[in-house]
């Protein structure tokens, strides 16, 4: 590969001790078509110094010994190239490289070869190199998603330490937990994003079409405002390319599963490129009665106005028609002994006619302008509309008697959520005297409007009510079960609008080549407006019981980063996030947000030419103004109103995360992780209904672990053969509900679930444009459960077979 290099000699010769001062090498790596080559490794092999190029292709190596130095440029899937430069003491030497690949070819190499390239996550809203970011990050690439033949977001996140899948009631969406905090489906406090804009997991996002999934662990309130303290999840969809290509695949497997996948991209003009990804999914289930039919399409356009300005327009549409699954139920729920039934894994206790349909559409536009190699402005705008309608049985919250009798009641859902999101981010690099800065200044605005319907139900005999029938989950032949579908009558619509605004500034300051400081702060303003309730019968609208509520919060972050070696980073950080509280104080005033303090220390390292990356972090979260029930009312009398609260409680979460990933060649990669967490109430109060002091919060495993390894043979006779294995461990955790002080019945409301491990084995073969890949999941046929709360407990999938046949062009 040709290289362009020039050594800039100093204005005057240096003599004496100045010759011993280290120098600096900086430059830009570009592709054959003049585009910046991002995420390419640059290093000096004999000294171990190295760095990855930023998004603009620039790199800088500091503290380089004077004299001739051999620079090596490498990227997994490319042959390394070298050039020799002469470093002058105390001076900066310029070294620019030109690769023979064009931008599209290099992107293809990074996507398909460097499966675990340690590159900046777009969710960080800046180009801060991973070693410089004092935060634990996990990125699962499209190659890992494809090799594991993943269809659901929850299966993608198994590859990130400390993230565990829970489940929404009825099994119609995914929820997660991390570091002791829950990540819900969406809404005003949502922590699920798509291309940096707020999204949700209603109807299950299609993971098979994603370019990557990014996870920022820890408090991200500085960048995103009112989000979970555990982590945020950003789904990155596939983007257009300026070369023709794509694939056609058919995925099929156990329980009648089949899924065609089409991906086509290319240039429409010299400046305009497109991409269209589409899937259709049809399957039955290991659960009786349960079926799913899904359609997803994701078109996008990329237009380059110039070398400095481009516009990316994306949209997608999902229709998900799935059978809601009420799980296995808990027998004798409100008494002791309570237990999970020993029924077959397939047993289904909802009505046979139950349904849940999600329609979700989104669109976004990203305008990016580079003023120079150092300054970039991004403007983002997007809208997402999610509509859900469903009907079936209510979750079995207290309905299963000790003998297995279950009184099924009717429950319908009709909700819609529309999100309008806008962001403006300015990134810049500059110096003030001896200090170098990497600055982010930005602002965002979000409007969320949700509407939910209330219903009444009418049977064929004209009777109105929620009662349906009685079945026995242990002996389904005991009763004659109803099969008719009652009429659903819409009685009221409740609309809940809210607004969020935020502005933030963050600066990574390089004090010396070894010491750096990251500091920033965000101001958030959130207005939850009074709900409006429209009565369908009376055709009249009225205001809801709660008045407008305004929450304001500052979210600071500060960190010290020490890099004793160029590829080793040690950091300590402080950040906080805020939790919006419901209820009032004893004087009937709205509660202020709870501020959660997070302290974290970590070590990050890149080894073997950035082909091996490891991150270890330890943390403590403390919410010392946790909202808990006030023991006394404003008159000093014992309080029996659970809506009256005070900010005097405390929760504490301690833990450790470890992630290791490596990609030693285009043919081999692996990742592994381990996490431990202890989230508990540490000052839970004494009022009736308060949590029990010292009890672990539900749905938070004490330990999780993950490991995956894939290898593709390239020797004659075996060339194209791929083998792989993935293992995932979820440790002991509590289902059900946490116990409370003075609770009725006096029995334990938690459900202890043992840990479990699943093992997946994969094998495949590729020849020219054709490929086939097969997977046997849960090889040992492990039986365990996903839990959402006390009522929704669903068995994990049994052993299954899945295969994908593809043609790539």
Length of the chain equals 809
**What is the band of 114 on the pLDDT scale with cuts at 50, 70, 90?**
very low
pLDDT level of residue 102 (50, 70, 90 thresholds): low
Quick one: pLDDT band at residue 189, thresholds 50, 70, 90?
Answer: low
**CATH class of segment(s) 3-112:** mainly beta
* DSSP-assigned letter for residue 667: T
> Residue 18 — very low, low, confident or very high, per pLDDT cuts 50/70/90?
very low
Instruction: Assess contact for 615 and 604: CB atoms under 8 A.
Output: yes
Those residues whose C-beta lies under 8 Å from the C-beta of residue 300, and which sit 6 or more positions away, are: 237, 238, 239, 240, 274, 275, 276, 312, 313, 314, 315
Residue in the block written with tokens 């075996």: 718
Residue the block writes with tokens 């999934």: 213
User: Which class for 372: exposed (0-12), middle (13-18), buried (19 or more C-beta within 10 A)?
Assistant: exposed
Mean pLDDT value of segment 319-348: 88
Q: What is the pLDDT of residue 11?
A: 38
Instruction: Give the pLDDT confidence of 468-523 residue by residue, as tens digits.
Output: 999 999 999 999 999 999 999 989 999 999 999 999 999 999 999 899 999 999 99
pLDDT at position 775 is 98
> Which CATH architecture describes the domain 245-808?
Beta Barrel (2.40)
Domain boundaries, the chain: 3-112, 122-237, 245-808
Q: Does 625 have pLDDT greater than 80?
A: yes
- In terms of average pLDDT, the best of 52-66, 321-335, 734-748, 769-783 is 769-783
Does residue 41 register a pLDDT over 90? no
Q: Is the dihedral of CA 619, 607, 440, 141 positive or negative?
A: negative
Contacts of residue 41, defined as CB under 8 A and 6 or more positions apart, other chains included, come to: 50, 51, 52, 73, 74, 75, 609, 610
Q: Which residues pair with 432 in a beta bridge?
A: 435
Cα–Cα distances in angstroms (integers) from residue 499 to residues 234, 301, 447, 551, in the given order: 21, 30, 5, 10
Question: Global pTM?
Answer: 0.87
Q: What percentage of residues in the chain have a pLDDT greater than 90? A: 56
Confirm if 177 and 207 have CB atoms less than 8 A apart. Answer: no
Measure the CA–CA gap between 384 and 364, rounded to whole angstroms: 9
* pLDDT value of position 804: 97
- Per-residue confidence at 712, pLDDT binned at 50, 70, 90? very high
Map tokens 């006030």 to a residue. 630
pLDDT band at 301 (very low <50, low <70, confident <90, very high): very high
Q: Is 687 helix (H, G, I), strand (E, B) or coil?
A: coil
For 301-321, what is the mean pLDDT?
95
Distances (CA, A) of 600 to 217, 570, 576, 597, 616: 11, 11, 11, 10, 10
The domain made up of 122-237 has a fold known as Ferric Hydroxamate Uptake Protein; Chain A, domain 1 (2.170.130)
pLDDT tens string 428-481: 999 999 999 999 999 999 999 999 999 999 988 888 899 999 999 999 999 999
- The model's pLDDT over 245-298, given as tens digits with 9 standing for 90+, comes to 999 999 999 999 999 999 999 999 999 999 999 999 999 999 999 999 999 999
Structure tokens at 147: 């090799």
pLDDT in tens, 673-684: 999 999 999 988
Locate 74 and state its tokens: 């490498």
Cβ-proximal residues to 677 (8 Å cutoff; 6+ apart), any chain: 162, 179, 180, 653, 654, 655, 700, 701, 702, 703
Q: Which one has a higher pLDDT value, 425 or 86?
A: 425
What would the pLDDT profile of 167-178 be if each residue is shown by its tens digit? 766 778 888 889
CA R_g for the chain: 28
Name the least confident of 289-293, 319-323, 578-582, 718-722: 578-582
Tell me what the pLDDT averaged over the chain comes to.
Answer: 87
Under 8 Å between Cβ of 524 and 555: yes
pLDDT band at 48 (very low <50, low <70, confident <90, very high): low
């Amino acid at each position: 590969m040709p290289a362009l290099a020039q050594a800039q000699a100093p204005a005057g010769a240096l003599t004496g001790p100045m010759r011993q001062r280290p120098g600096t090498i900086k430059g830009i790596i570009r592709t054959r078509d003049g585009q910046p080559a991002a995420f390419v490794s640059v290093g000096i092999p004999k000294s171990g110094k190295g760095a990855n190029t930023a998004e603009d292709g620039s790199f800088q190596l500091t503290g380089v010994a004077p004299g001739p130095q051999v620079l090596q440029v490498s990227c997994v899937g490319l042959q390394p190239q070298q050039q020799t430069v002469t470093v002058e003491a105390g001076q900066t030497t310029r070294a620019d490289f030109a690769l023979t690949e064009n931008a599209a070819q290099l992107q293809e190499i990074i996507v398909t070869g460097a499966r675990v390239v340690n590159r900046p996550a777009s969710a960080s809203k800046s180009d801060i190199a991973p070693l410089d970011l004092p935060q634990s990050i996990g990125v699962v690439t499209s190659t890992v998603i494809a090799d594991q033949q993943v269809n659901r977001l929850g299966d993608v996140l198994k590859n990130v330490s400390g993230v565990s899948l829970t489940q929404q009631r009825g099994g119609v969406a995914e929820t997660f937990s991390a570091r002791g905090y829950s990540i819900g489906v969406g809404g005003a406090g949502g922590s699920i994003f798509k291309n940096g804009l707020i999204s949700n997991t209603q109807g299950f996002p299609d993971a098979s079409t994603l370019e990557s999934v990014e996870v920022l662990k820890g408090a991200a309130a500085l960048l995103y405002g009112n989000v979970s303290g555990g982590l945020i999840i950003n789904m990155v969809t596939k983007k257009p390319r300026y070369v023709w290509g794509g694939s056609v695949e058919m995925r099929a497997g156990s329980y009648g599963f089949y899924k065609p996948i089409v991906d086509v991209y290319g240039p429409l003009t010299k400046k305009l490129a497109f991409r269209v990804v589409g899937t259709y999914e049809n399957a039955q289930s290991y659960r009786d009665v349960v079926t799913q039919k899904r359609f997803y399409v994701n078109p996008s356009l990329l237009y380059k106005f110039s070398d400095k300005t481009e516009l990316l327009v994306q949209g997608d549409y999902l229709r998900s028609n799935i059978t809601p699954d009420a799980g296995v139920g808990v027998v004798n729920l409100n008494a002791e002994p309570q237990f999970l039934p020993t029924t077959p894994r397939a047993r289904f206790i909802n009505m046979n006619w139950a349904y849940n349909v999600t329609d979700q559409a989104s669109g976004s536009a990203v305008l990016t302008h580079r003023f120079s190699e150092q300054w970039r402005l991004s403007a983002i705008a997007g809208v997402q509309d999610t509509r859900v309608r469903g009907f079936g049985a209510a979750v079995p919250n207290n309905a299963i008697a000790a003998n297995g009798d279950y009184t099924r009641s009717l429950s319908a859902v009709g909700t819609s959520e529309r999100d309008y999101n806008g962001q403006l981010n300015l990134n810049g690099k500059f110096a003030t005297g001896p200090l170098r800065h990497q600055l982010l200044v930005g602002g965002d605005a979000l409007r969320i409007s949700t509407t939910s319907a209330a219903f009444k139900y009418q049977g064929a005999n004209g009777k109105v009510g929620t009662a349906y029938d009685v079945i026995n989950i242990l002996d389904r032949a005991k009763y004659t079960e109803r099969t008719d579908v009652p009429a659903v009558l819409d009685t009221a619509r409740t609309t809940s609008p809210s607004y969020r605004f935020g502005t933030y500034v963050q600066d990574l300051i390089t004090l010396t080549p070894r010491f750096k400081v990251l500091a920033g702060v965000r101001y958030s303003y959130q207005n939850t407006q009074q709900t409006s309730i429209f009565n369908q019968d009376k055709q009249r609208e009225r205001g809801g019981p709660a008045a407008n509520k305004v929450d304001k919060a500052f979210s600071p972050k500060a960190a010290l980063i020490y890099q004793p070696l160029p590829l080793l980073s040690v950091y300590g950080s402080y950040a906080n996030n805020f939790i919006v509280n419901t209820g009032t104080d004893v004087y009937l005033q709205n509660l202020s947000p709870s501020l959660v303090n997070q302290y974290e220390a970590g070590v990050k390292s890149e080894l073997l030419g950035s082909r091996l990356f490891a991150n270890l972090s330890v943390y403590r979260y403390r919410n010392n103004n946790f909202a808990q029930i006030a023991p006394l009312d404003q008159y000093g009398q014992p309080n029996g109103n659970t809506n009256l609260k005070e900010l005097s409680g405390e929760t504490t979460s301690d833990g450790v995360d470890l992630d290791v990933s490596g990609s030693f060649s285009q043919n081999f990669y692996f990742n592994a992780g381990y996490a431990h967490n202890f989230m508990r109430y540490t000052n839970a109060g004494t009022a009736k209904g308060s949590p029990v002091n010292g009890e672990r919060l539900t749905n938070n495993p004490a330990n999780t672990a993950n490991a995956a390894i894939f290898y593709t043979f390239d020797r004659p006779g075996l060339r194209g053969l791929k083998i792989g294995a993935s293992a995932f461990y979820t440790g002991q955790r509590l289902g059900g509900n946490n116990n409370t002080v003075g609770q009725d019945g006096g029995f334990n409301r938690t459900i202890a679930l043992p840990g479990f491990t699943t093992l997946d084995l994969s094998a495949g073969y590729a020849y020219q444009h054709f490929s086939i890949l097969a997977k046997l999941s849960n090889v040992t046929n492990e039986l365990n459960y996903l839990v959402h709360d006390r009522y929704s407990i669903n068995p994990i999938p049994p052993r299954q077979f899945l295969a994908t046949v593809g043609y790539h062009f």
